[in-house]
Chains A and B, each alone.
Chain A
Amino acid sequence: MSTELPLARLVRRLLFVVVAMFAFGFALVPIYDVMCKAFGINGKTAGAYQGAQTVDEAREVRVQFLATNAAGMVWEFGPVDDQLRVHPGASQEIRFIAYNPTDKPMSAQAVPSVSPSKAAAYFHKTECFCFTQQVLQPGERIEMPVRFIVDRDLPADVHHLTLAYTLFDITSRQPPVAVLPATPAKESLQ
């Protein structure tokens, strides 16, 4: 058959497609993050926000706070206030309290989410305990501040938004070596 060479080339090309599609599967991971960020979907919030805005005194929105433990997490975890009324553009602070009731040191990671998801892009955190991991010694209790600004450009039909944290036990992944001074509420500048 005279097809010997084209066959080898064809198979090589097809194998290349296979490898490329395998890589594409992994490329979907960053693409997913980029898309979520670009469209402000999935309630994902951006990292630390730097900047200030002028306060829009005329408008007031309600921000509710939720704290949930992921499955298997035993800490007591919650906000000091259920909600705040804020003016867009103004810097606000809310504190969350975490308490480790067990007899062993544990580390935790909080993952934030904002709903409605279209508001996520307009919710800026200038400081958040979710930017770092928390390590608590047995019986230790901390107050963790979140400082945030609701953007002035928040769509007009959003009158109230919810900031929800899910707290995950990551002790097995990130053994609680006392890297962070855990006692005082951190005043880290991001």
Chain B
Amino acid sequence: MSAVIDDHGHAGHDHHHGPAKGLSRWLLTTNHKDIGSMYLWFSFCAFLLGGSMAMVIRAELFQPGLQIVQPEFFNQMTTMHGLIMVFGAVMPAFVGLANWMIPLMIGAPDMALPRMNNFSFWLLPAAFGLLVRTLFMEGGGPNFGWTFYAPLSTTYAPESVTFFIFAIHLMGISSIMGAINVVATVLNLRAPGMTLMKMPLFVWTWLITAFLLIAVMPVLAGVVTMMLMDIHFGTSFFSAAGGGDPVLFQHVFWFFGHPEVYIMILPAFGAVSSIIPAFSRKPLFGYTSMVYATGAIAFLSFIVWAHHMFTVGIPLTGELFFMYATMLIAVPTGVKVFNWVSTMWRGSLTFEAPMLFAVAFVILFSIGGFSGLMLAIAPADFQYHDTYFVVAHFHYVLVPGAIFGIFASAYYWLPKWTGHMYDETLAKLHFWMSFIGMNLAFFPMHFVGLAGMPRRIPDYNMMFANFNMISSVGAFMFGATQLLFLFIVIKCIRGGPAAAAKPWDGAEGLEWSVPSPAPYHTFTTPPDMHTLHEHRTGPKHD
């Protein structure tokens, strides 16, 4: 699992013990780099598992008619794919990046609460063990969609729903602890001189993400608790028979769910804001506006939730409010896209793998943003609602948004993590295969969605056959390519050209002031902030 165990003989850190040997190192570790690595590996496993479920879905949708799986199992696949990708792949990947990079970026020796850090990681295997186990239970696993709307998830749920609820509880606790840790680290452990407005944007976006998590994960815990009580303790939160209301579920869920969308994208914004300047060899354009835009997006995310529910019958004024509030989000997001493009403008661009993924991120995320604007138009949403257009939209923001952001981060910081350069040729192949596969898979979904193909259905009208076949081919291509990513990472861990402390000549930030691979303990004495001085004030190219 990693080259961070390599001895490095860095004189300043000799008095520290290295990592423990064997399994107990990983079970008991409180080291932010170990925990970060575990998070990243966990997330990659979940990515492959959730991805293989997507392959089942696309295989079934390769042709109209039922070929491979039964509708019941298809429903479980769509549900588990969503749950595992959201809670198992994307969120832990960002927590892993935060663990690895935030202490290095702000000059802290570790996370502020290292033991809680260990606990919050080890809750995840327990949570996903519970969740995945449900697939093998009588009655099958969750089949009500990742949004688990009541009464599908209460009155009509399979028996295994209780395990699903506890899994959500556990991963919620894990996320909340991770978020508290990030806030405590960022607010308390910054090196002297590292003021808030000098922090790299990845730290900023994560700080704001952490506040979002602290605010909404408890609401998610609350909504699944209400489900649990409805199912087992005879309450009627969501049951009209007892005076409750299923629509209430959707309100509470989306009060969590919409900020959750930004939880999955803001850290990627931050990472890309480090990567684009590095490969443009220019400082980031509009740092301050980036910080405020992130804050604005986070605030707006709390007042737009009902745009997921335009069709449930909210009053006209409500539709208008949520429509305009949603469209307002395009403003701070537009500020960000503008800043990224301006950073590249007249830069000395090179296109190594991190930059390729980052540029694709900007372009494709914007496409996803625009389809989001289309969906925000309340009267039009009545046509788009629950069609493949929605599927196309959120895959365009999550795959080239969150996932490409994670790939870009991984390639950008792999030399720091492993001490080796990755194979650039293979990485570029990985990029182009992912880029083509992803667009093949998701772009045609816009068309079938606009033509009325409903989501979450294992069969479809003959007229959608060609586009669905293209989607499936693209999805298989994208899925298979991720095994190449695994190979590249393993190859990079095992060897490769030695990486300099700062392998990217345009990169800025404290993390490049420690050797590669990063020693097991870093910044046990706070760094000299003069090395950071060029971080924002101006380019000083090596």
Which residues on the A side are within 8 Å of B218 (C-beta)?
18-22, 24-25
Does B397 belong to the interface (CB within 8 Å)?
no
- Say whether A18 contacts B188, CB under 8 Å: no
Interface string of B214-249 (1 = CB under 8 A from A): 111111111100100000001001001111010110
| Whole-angstrom distance between the Cβ of A47 and the nearest chain B Cβ | 12
Interface stretch, picked from A4-12, A91-99, A138-146, A147-155, is: A4-12
- Say whether A7 contacts B112, CB under 8 Å: yes
- Taking A22-B219, A32-B245 as contacts, is the C-beta distance between A117 and B313 under 8 angstroms? yes
Which residues on the A side are within 8 Å of B221 (C-beta)?
22, 25
Q: Which of A68-115 contact B (CB under 8 A)?
A: 70-71, 109, 111
Which residues of B does A touch, CB under 8 Å? Answer: 112-113, 155, 176, 180, 183-184, 187-189, 214-223, 226, 234, 237, 240-243, 245, 247-248, 251-252, 255-256, 313-315, 318
Secondary structure call for the A interface: helix
Residue of B nearest to A25 (CB): B222
- Say whether B248 contacts A28, CB under 8 Å: yes
Which residues on the B side are within 8 Å of A14 (C-beta)?
180, 183-184, 214
- Say whether B223 contacts A15, CB under 8 Å: no
Q: How far is the CA of A168 from the CA of B183 in the complex (A)?
A: 48
- Say whether A173 contacts B252, CB under 8 Å: no
Q: Which of A1-58 contact B (CB under 8 A)?
A: 1, 3, 6-7, 10-11, 14-15, 17-26, 28-29, 32, 39, 41-43
Which of B216, B220, B240, B251 is close to A32, meaning CB atoms less than 8 Å apart?
Answer: B251
Q: How far is the CA of A167 from the CA of B247 in the complex (A)?
A: 18
- Say whether A166 contacts B240, CB under 8 Å: yes
Interface string of A164-190 (1 = CB under 8 A from B): 001011100100000000000000000
- Say whether B241 contacts A42, CB under 8 Å: no
Which of A17, A117, A166 is close to B215, meaning CB atoms less than 8 Å apart?
Answer: A17
- Say whether B237 contacts A7, CB under 8 Å: no
- Say whether A41 contacts B315, CB under 8 Å: yes
Which residues on the A side are within 8 Å of B256 (C-beta)?
25
Q: Would you list 17 pairs from A and B whose C-beta atoms are within 8 A, ordered by A residue? A: A7-B188, A10-B188, A11-B180, A14-B180, A18-B176, A18-B217, A22-B219, A25-B222, A25-B226, A25-B256, A28-B219, A29-B237, A29-B252, A32-B245, A41-B314, A43-B313, A117-B313
Q: How far is the CA of A23 from the CA of B255 in the complex (A)?
A: 14
Q: How far is the CA of A170 from the CA of B188 in the complex (A)?
A: 55
Q: How far is the CA of A25 from the CA of B318 in the complex (A)?
A: 21
